[in-house]
Amino acid sequence: MEQKLKKITSLATEAIKNCKTINELLDIKAMYLGKKSEFNDLMQDLKNLSSDQKPLFGKIINEAKQEISALIDEQKQIIDSQKINDLLKSQTIDISLPGKNLALGHKHILTKTIEEIEDVFVGLGYEIKEGPEIETDLYNFEMLNLPKDHPAREMQDSFYITEDLLLRTHTSPVQVRSLLENAAQKPLKIICPGVVYRKDDDDLTHSHQFMQIEALVVDEKATLADLKGTLLLVAKKLFGENREIRLRPSYFPFTEPSVEVDVSCFKCNGSGCPMCKNTGWIEILGAGMVNNNVLKAAGYDPMKFQGFALGMGIERVAMLKHGIEDIRLLYTNDLRFNSQF
């Protein structure tokens, strides 16, 4: 009997190991562990054994059954995983084919530049103010210390709609409007981005329409040193941490003193290159302390209030940062250009 058991076990083991499909495996299971299986026959034989041998052989048979049952489970797993592997193999794709062309859009580089500058100032506690592009002579010039016959008006040849209405030549009228709006004369820290116009023929460096961003701070103690510190911070944020700034005297009717602001060349780090015309410095913006006449015109007492203003051309900043040499590219909208940013 023991021998018979061994034989069945080894036959079963071999059959299970060679088995390739679940169906075959089920057949094998029925053959060895089913009601009509050889184990059943052996169990029948068990009855003929003496009562002291019965438990021993019974145990041996059960162990053999368990062994076979375990083998079947193991083989089932092998067959299953084989099946999955085959399936996965058949589903394998060429991952080197191009991915789907999910459309990619682009903000205009001028928008990106404005948002970048806005974010710097918002972080410093500035509000963003906007205003109309068609302005009155009063707001665009007169209240900015540019009376009707001021020679500096020639600096800004303008597009007129009527004698008193024009396309604004700078975003400074938004500063005037903001000062007037601020009736309680609370400390004011604003930036004014927007589209402006000058009567220039379009060429490499001129555009009859362009964008500006101006900043204005008016309170009881904003100083020239505050202006300089703010300028350095902005220069570093826009052109890199290692930048330095330099102020040179200049003239704007709405500020006094007025300065031009140079940033140390970010291409050569100040040693001199074609970009900075070998000076090591690049002019980026104009600034100054708010002229008392502007404060007075807006109803502020210049003995109590003071402040500073600065203004830069967005195009110039974008062109410098990205090495663009022709301003017209910014308004041509060649999608091969626009989609680079």
Partner 1 sequence: MKVSLNWLNQYFDQNIDKDVLVKKFNLMSQEVAGLNKLIDIDGLVIGHVKSLKKHEDADKLSVCLVDVGDEELQIICGAPNVAADQKVIVAKVGVVLSGNFRLKKAKIRGVESNGMICSLAELGIQEFDNEEKGIYVLGFDAIPGEDPIKYLHLDDYVLDLDLTANRSDLLSIRGVAYDTACMMNLNLDLAEPRVTRETSENPVSIFTQTKNSTVYYGQTLENVEIKDSPYWLKSRLLACGIRPINNVVDITNYVMLEYGQPLHAFDYDKIQSDRIIVREALENETILTLDGEKRKLVAGDIVITDGKKPIALAGVMGGLETEIDDSTKRILLESAIFNPVKIRKTASRLNLKSESSSRFEKGVDPYQTLEALNYACELLAEYANAIVVGLPSYYNTVKIKNKIINLSLEKLNSVTGYSYSEEIVEDILKRLRFKFKLKGDNFKVSIPSRRPMESYQDLIEEIVRIHGYDKIPLTIPITPTQGGLNRKQKTKRAIRNYFVGRGFTETKTYSLASQEAAIKFDQSTTKAIRIMNPLTKEREYLRHSLLPSLLNVLVYNKSRKIENIMIFELANAYFEDNEIEKLAILMHGKLDFSTWQKQDQSVDFYHLKGLLETLLKQLKVPDYIISVSPKELPNLHPGISAILSVKGKVIGFLGKLHPEEEHEIGIKDVYVCELSLNELLNLSDENTHLYQEITKYPSIKRDIAVLVKNDITAEDIISSINKTSKKILNSIDIFDVYFDKTLSNKKSIALTLEFLSSNRTLETKEVDNQIDKILENLKLDLNAELRS
Residues 6 or more apart whose CB falls under 8 angstroms from that of 247 comprise 228, 231, 259, 260, 261, 262, 287
Q: Any contact of residue 55 with partner 1 (CB under 8 A)?
A: no
- Partner from Zn ion, partner 1, none contacting 118, C-beta within 5 to 8 A by type: partner 1
Return the residue of 166, 276, 285, 330 that touches Zn ion, per CB under 5 A. Answer: 276
Q: Any contact of residue 124 with partner 1 (CB under 8 A)?
A: yes
- Partner from Zn ion, partner 1, none contacting 273, C-beta within 5 to 8 A by type: Zn ion
Return the residue of 2, 52, 149, 241 that touches partner 1, per CB under 8 A. Answer: 149
- Partner from Zn ion, partner 1, none contacting 331, C-beta within 5 to 8 A by type: partner 1
Q: Any contact of residue 183 with partner 1 (CB under 8 A)?
A: no
Q: Which residues pair with 197 in a beta bridge?
A: 209
Q: How many residues bind partner 1 (CB under 8 A)?
A: 84
Distances 53 to 10, 24, 40, 65 between C-alpha atoms, Å: 23, 35, 18, 18
Structure tokens at 101: 């062309």
> Would you tell me how many other CB atoms lie within 10 Å of the CB of residue 107?
12
Q: Any contact of residue 291 with partner 1 (CB under 8 A)?
A: yes
Structure tokens at 41: 């026959």
- Partner from partner 1, Zn ion, none contacting 276, C-beta within 5 to 8 A by type: Zn ion
Query: How does DSSP assign 39-63, residue by residue?
Result: HHHHHHHHTTS-TTTHHHHHHHHHH
Tell me which residues in 236-275 interact with Zn ion (CB under 5 A): 265, 267-268, 273, 275
φ, ψ of residue 257 to 5 degrees: the values are -70, 160
Pick the stretch among 20-28, 46-54, 188-196, 266-274 that binds partner 1 (CB under 8 A): 188-196
One-letter amino acid of 160:
Y
CA-derived radius of gyration, the chain = 43
Q: Any contact of residue 192 with partner 1 (CB under 8 A)?
A: no
Q: Any contact of residue 136 with partner 1 (CB under 8 A)?
A: no
CB of 266 to Zn ion, least distance (A): 8
Of the candidates 35, 64, 36, 60, the residue with the CA atom closest to the CA atom of residue 46: 60
φ, ψ of residue 78 to 5 degrees: the values are -60, -45
Q: Any contact of residue 230 with partner 1 (CB under 8 A)?
A: yes
Residue 319 CA from chain centroid, whole number: 20
Contacts 24+ apart (CB under 8 A), 20-26: 20/79, 21/79, 22/76, 22/79, 22/80, 25/72, 25/75, 25/76, 25/79
- Partner from partner 1, Zn ion, none contacting 98, C-beta within 5 to 8 A by type: partner 1
> CB-wise, 68 or 192, nearer to partner 1?
192
CB of 131 to Zn ion, least distance (A): 36
Stretch (H or E) spanning 70: helix 54-91
Instruction: Give the x-and-dash track for 84-103 against partner 1 (CB under 8 A).
Output: -------------xx-xxxx
CB of 137 to partner 1, least distance (A): 13
Structure tokens at 181: 């709006």
φ, ψ of residue 299 to 5 degrees: the values are 85, 15
Instruction: Give the x-and-dash track for 201-230 against Zn ion (CB under 5 A).
Output: ------------------------------
CB of 338 to partner 1, least distance (A): 5
- Partner from partner 1, Zn ion, none contacting 25, C-beta within 5 to 8 A by type: none
Residues that bind Zn ion (CB under 5 A): 265, 267-268, 273, 275-276
